[in-house]
Each structure stands twice: as structure tokens, then as C-alpha cells.
Structure 1
Amino acid sequence: MGNEGAYAISPQKEANYRRIFEQLDVDKDGKIDLSELKEAYRRMNMLQVPGQAQKFLTASDSNKDGELDVTEFVKYLHEHEMHLKLMFKSIDRDKDGRISAAEMVQSLKSVGLSITDEEARDIVRRIDKDGSSFIDIDEWIQHHLLHPSADMKDILYYWRHATYMDLGENLLVPDEFSADEKLSGRWWKLLVAGGTAGAVSRSCTAPLDRLKVLMQVHATKANQLGIKSGFKALHEEGGLRGLWRGNGINVIKIAPESALKFFAFEKLKQIIGQESGQEMNAKYRFLAGSLAGAFSQTCIYPLEVIKTRLALRKTGQYKGILDCGVKILSQEGVGAFFKGYVPNILGIIPYAGIDLCIYETLRNYWMKNHSDTSVPSVFVPLGCGVVSSTCGQLASYPFALIRTKMQANKGTVKRMDNPNMVSLAKTIFQTEGLFGFYRGIGPNFLKVAPAVGISYVVYEKMKANLKV
């Protein structure tokens, strides 16, 4: 490699860049194309932000032939490393040759970007190799060398990149979007991608969801209604198509619920942040998220009642969503649309709290014990999400079961045959014991794996199509 003025490269540096090139050159033909770059990223266990491979190829492909040869690659990496060194120096405010979490927060704030102290500490732990709680220049360059940008906004997006999953119960603390994502309009594309992923995931797992509702309402010790017998009863009564009853409104309510939760979460973050005078740490994020979830659930709760009635309906009982709503209103009154509201709201607190706490604990444990890996594979956040969400469901499931039983009850609000939450809980415990509060949890757990897999794949595909 030549020594051309400012771009002179030491033999050691050039040898290192060539070793990296050989790792990326999957078919060993002396060229790297887009498909090889993506495959190499996967093999090297690198986090892949949508469009990252294409951006890297575009930035480094000096002759624009769609491929990289070793000369182009080495020259680009050397230039890119120079830019990363300049960025490191600008963040290292006290000029001691290392970056702290506090310096990261201050530097980002100075260019109009905002992250919490907790996020900054997570980023430092992710990049820090020697356990010093600081980032030195070598750690900084190694972590970002194959990221196609040395712009702070792009790198912050790279740090914040996360995956998505929909388990059918929209009680999770909402995702946070950066100021840049809001200004660029990327936030609405992420919401659309998430909504689409949720719709596909819920539709694919709808039979299990309907079976869960059936078992929550009708399963007892006496009838021994289980997964096999439940599916048989549903199929005999409504045929194969009947397994998807109630799915239409379950999909329809995704958009308003997600939008309401997002806007409420953003407003509550502002209010709570002003009141506390602190950054949004996990405690305040949980509070804002829980209140936002309660607000969105309140607004769309009538749809939840209609969903339960449609899932339990007999053939010919209702003509559709509108007919079901009209009949509930005329026969039971407006109050019927809020049956089970109290246990539903109470269930948000243990679900969101346990889910967030366990997710953060698992994530921090992984980062502490895998300091030699720059970023986790996609299975790490997915696995943490599945475990934390499952634990949250275990804690909140009794509330969900009582809510569903109350929603399914067709007595008018004034009649004595319309039990309240406490009396219903007593009856369940007296007749069914503790296990009675977990009727239907089997199909609920069965849908977790397919729901996570489907929602993740669809979300990533949608982000690629929407170019986010």
C-alpha cells in the first residue's frame, strides 16, 4: 500500500486491515460485495442496523463498481479510523485519553442529542473491554471501525438499535425515540413497522389466543377443558375459520393503542422529568410507561370487551364488530363496555414493572459477563424479552383471567349476577383453588415462541422496506 501524504499507513496497520478484509471476503475471490458483507457481519456476530452494509459499501467503493477490492478497503478504513479518532478527541473533554459516561452525555448534549445517564453507562459497558468503566481509543476504534459513519447522530442510532416483538398483550413499557428519530420522521416508520409486525403475529397465533379466552371463561375442574378438547370444541362449533373469531378487532386496535401510548408516554416523560429534575432512569421510565399504558387501555377498552365477546360467540350470534357493539349497548348499557376495567388496569403494574426489571437485569448480566463481545447477537435481546415478558405475564395473569371473566359476563351492570372483582376472585379460589387463576395459561405460553419469531422477522422486513 502506498504512503501518500496524509494517508500514509504503517505496515502494521495495513496488515491489520488486510486481515479484516480476508474475514469479510467470504468466497475468497479478492472482492467483497453486498451479500458477502451482510454474511460476514452475521458470522462476526455484529449488530446490523438496517442499511448498514449498503452504507459501508457505498462509502468505501471509490470506483463505484458495486464491489470492494483490498486497496479500496484499506484506504477507506484508514480514513475512517482518522475520523473516529477525531470524534474520540471531541468526546474526551478532559483530555485524559479515555471516555466516561458523563463525558458522553455532555458531548452528545452539546450537539443537540440526548441520552440518559443510564443509557450512557450501558454504552460504556458495551464498548469497554478491560472492565475499567471507561473507553480508551483502541476500544473505541475497534467497536466502530466497520460502522459506515463517524457522525454522532448515526452512531447514537447504532447504539440504540433494538428489536421488536409482539406477544398479543400490549402492556409493555413503550419504546423511546431519540430527538433525531422524531425530527427525521423515522419514529412513525418504526411505529408502522411495529404495528404491521404485531398484526401479522397476532393473526398467526389467533387460534391459540381464542383457545386461551375459552379456557379462561369456561374451563373448570369438572369439565377438564384442556388444549386438545378446547380446540376440538372450537372446530366443531365454528369450523376452521371459527378459530380466528375476534382476531379482526384484535388487529384493528393495535394502531390506536400504540399511537395513544406513544404520545402519552412522550408527554408524561416531560412532566415527570420536570417534576423530578432528573434524567429518565428505569424508575421514572416505568412510572411514565405504566401511566401511558393505563391511558391507552382506558381509551380503547370497549374494543377489548367486544374482542372477548366475539372470541366467545356462537355461530350466527353477531354479524360483526359493529353488530356486537350495538347489541351490548342495547342489552346491557354503556357500563358493559368497561366490565373488567379495574383488574385490567391493576394488571399493568406487575406486568410492566416485572417485565422492565427482569429485562434490565438480564441485559446488564449479559453485558457484565460478555465484555469481550462488542454487541450481542439478536438472540440476546429476544431471549431477554421472552423471559422478562413471560415473568410479567405470570404475575399479571390472575388479573387478566378475572378481567376476561367479567368481560364475558352478560348480566347488566345493576343485576346481582354481575360479580365484581373481589367476589369473583373469592369464588375462583373457593371452587378452583390457586390453579384456577391460571386457567388458559398453557395456550398463552405456547404462542410465545411463534409470536416472537414472527413479529421479529416481519419487523425487520418492514424496517428494510421503509428504509429505517
Structure 2
Amino acid sequence: VLDIGDSLTIPDEFTEEERMSGMWWKQLLSGAMAGAVSRTGTAPLDRLKVLMQVHASKSNQMNIFSGFKQMLKEGGVVSLWRGNGMNVVKIAPETAIKFMAYEQYKKLFARDKQNITTAERFLSGSLAGATAQTIIYPMEVMKTRMALRKTGQYSGVGDCVKKIIKHEGLIAFYKGYIPNILGIIPYAGIDLAIYETLKKAWLNKYAQDSANPGILVLLACGTISSTCGQLASYPLALVRTRMQAQGKMLIFQTVLFMPL
């Protein structure tokens, strides 16, 4: 089950007219709302992904069917959405920080503000992603811990925070930070390079007189490029999730999700 990688993507470009009119705020808000809906819809798969990343091993051959079976048995249908609340809450600050940082990095690195090169966009986007992740990373750890929790382990987010600080210290909120930041580089680089290459190839062959390939073509290019970026950065994502999950309850939880 692949991570969708939305936290690693390079922010969208906005025209000068959109910036001056304030339309970009509406687009960011719309994107955050759409992200909340899509993450809620895919939350069961996202939790299954986390469980498989942390608990699957040679002795515990967890798959999609056994994973769902164990989740339903341990906590019922509602347990499929564990961790989704934190996943939704972090959308707004992460999106806003990433966009504002991206604009500042572009001003810093771009030689021609009206014609930003792919390399300049990659550098600005990677640094913007790293900046946003640095600030909201404790929420990433909280999302993972809440997704992995057993029934009754935490009474809520506040209780989870208190127990982590008490037993592991503040440093626990940055477990897995290094592989997470390192994962931005291959993901953003491959995603952007393949996306731009596919889009230009399509325009050169089928629409030489137009700069707009259409939404379906852009969607196809984005899907292919994002998948390639995920395949390249996934080992780092796996290390990140396992480090985030490290805690005193990990051994018990691993036993809990062993197949019967």
C-alpha cells in the first residue's frame, strides 16, 4: 500500500492575477477541504498501510485482508479511522506554511521571476516541503501513534501527548525526522522531472499550438510522476514510520496484530 505522498509534493503555481486578487487563498482553502474529504475517504487504507509498515515481518505475513480482519476484530468498524482526525487537522497549517515558504524561496533563488526554471522550482519546492515538515512534524508523529493505538490506550489526543512526553520525552515528537526530510529530495525531484517531461512530450506531439494540455492529460502525468516518486522514496518512508512508532507499546501491539 503506497503512501500518497501529498506532504512531499511541490506546491502549485499561482499567477500574479490570482495573488493580487486573493483568489489563491480560496484555492488553498478549497484544496484543504478537498484534502480533508479525500483523506477521510481513504483513512482505512492509510491506517492499514501504517500497520503493515510497522508490524509486517517474516513471522507476521500481514496482507490487506488479514490486516482489515485484525483491525475490525480489535476495535470494530470505527477503528478503521483511527488517526484520521490528526491527519485532517494538519492539512491547513501544512498547506499554508508550504505555500508561503515556496513563494519566499522562489524570490530567493529565481533569476527571472516571470520564467522560473524546473531546477529553481525543484529547489524551492524541496526547501518549502522541508520547512513545512519541520514545523508540523510532531503532528505527523501523533498521527502515526494514534493510528497504531490499541483500544483504550489513549483517551484522546491530549492524553496521547502527555503519555509520550512522560515516557519518551519531547524528542519523541521528532522520531523519523531525518529519513522523512531525506525522502523529500528523491520524491520531489523525480515527481517534477517526470511530470514536466511527460507534459512537454504530449504538447510537442499533440498540441503544439497550445500550452494547456487539458485536465485529463495533467491528471495522467501527475499520477505517473507521483507513483514513480513514491517508488523511489518509499524505503525512507518505511524507515520514518517505524521510527515514529518506536515506543514502549510497540512490542505489545506487534503481538496484538499477529495473525491467528
- State TM-score, norm by structure 1: 0.51
**Residue by residue, what CA displacement relative to the aligned partner does 1:408-466 show, whole Å, maximum 9, x if unpaired?**
0016xxxxx9xxxxxxxxxxxxxxxxxxxxxxxxxxxxxxxxxxxxxxxxxxxxxxxxx
Matched to 1:401, the amino acid is: L
For 1:347 and 1:406, the matched residues in 2 are separated by 14
Q: How far, CA to CA, are the matches of 2:72 and 2:108 in structure 1?
A: 50
Residue 169 (1) aligns with residue 27 (2): no
**Alignment partner, residue 127 of structure 2:** 291
Q: Residue 383 of structure 1 aligns with which residue?
A: 220
Distance (whole Å) between structure 2 residues aligned to residue 385 and residue 378 of structure 1: 10
**Structure 1 residue 331: Cα displacement:** 1.0
Matches within 5 A, 1:267-306: 267-273=104-110, 279-306=115-142
CA distance in 2, matches of 1:254, 1:340: 20
Q: Which has the higher contact order (CA 8 A, sep 6+)?
A: 2
Identity of aligned pairs, percent? 61
- 2-side partners of 1:231 and 1:373: how far apart? 50
Match of 1:242 in 2: 79
The DSSP-based 3-state class of the residue aligned with 1:349 is helix
Contact kept? 2:187, 2:232, Cα under 8 Å: yes
Instruction: Choose the corresponding residue for 1:316, options 139, 146, 152.
Output: 152
Aligned pair partner of 1:363 in 199, 221, 225: 199
- Whole-angstrom distance in 1 between the partners of 2:97 and 2:76: 36
Which residue is 1:69 aligned to?
Answer: none
Give the CA RMSD over aligned residues: 1.9
Work out which of the residue numbers 50, 54, 57 in structure 2 matches 1:217: 54
Aligned to 1:404: 241
Partner of 1:43: none
User: Cα distance 1:168–1:195, how it changes in 2: closer, same or farther (>3 A)?
Assistant: farther
CA distance in structure 2 between the aligned counterparts of 1:284 and 1:376, rounded to whole angstroms: 23
Shift of 1:222: 1.7
Pairing of 1:338-357 with structure 2 (within 5 A): 338-357=174-193
Match of 2:48, as an amino acid? L
Counterpart residue type for residue 230 of structure 1: G
| 1:395 correspondence with 2:243 | no
Q: Deviations over 1:230-266 (max 9, x none)?
A: 0100110010000000000000000000000011011
1:263 aligns with 2:117: no
Partner-residue secondary structure (3-state), 1:171 = coil
| 1:253 partnered with 2:90 | yes
CA contact (8 A) 1:168 1:198 kept: no
Instruction: Tell me the alpha carbon deviations over residues 23-79 of structure 1, each in whole angstroms, 9 at most, x when there is no partner.
Output: xxxxxxxxxxxxxxxxxxxxxxxxxxxxxxxxxxxxxxxxxxxxxxxxxxxxxxxxx
Amino acid across the alignment from 1:363: K
Once superposed, which parts of structure 1, at least 4 consecutive aligned residues long, lie more than 6 Å away? Answer: none
Instruction: Measure how far apart 1:371 and its partner are.
Output: 2.5
Q: Does 1:196 align with 2:196?
A: no
Number of aligned residue pairs: give it.
246
| TM, length-normalised to structure 2 | 0.90
Alpha-carbon distance in 2 for matches of 1:319, 1:300: 22
The offset of 1:169, in angstroms, is 2.9
Q: Is the 8 A contact 1:168 1:202 kept in 2?
A: no
- CA shift at 1:175, angstroms? 0.8
The verdict on how the C-alpha distance between 1:386 and 1:169 changes in structure 2, with shifts beyond 3 A counting, is same
Question: Does residue 1:227 correspond to 2:64, yes or no?
Answer: yes
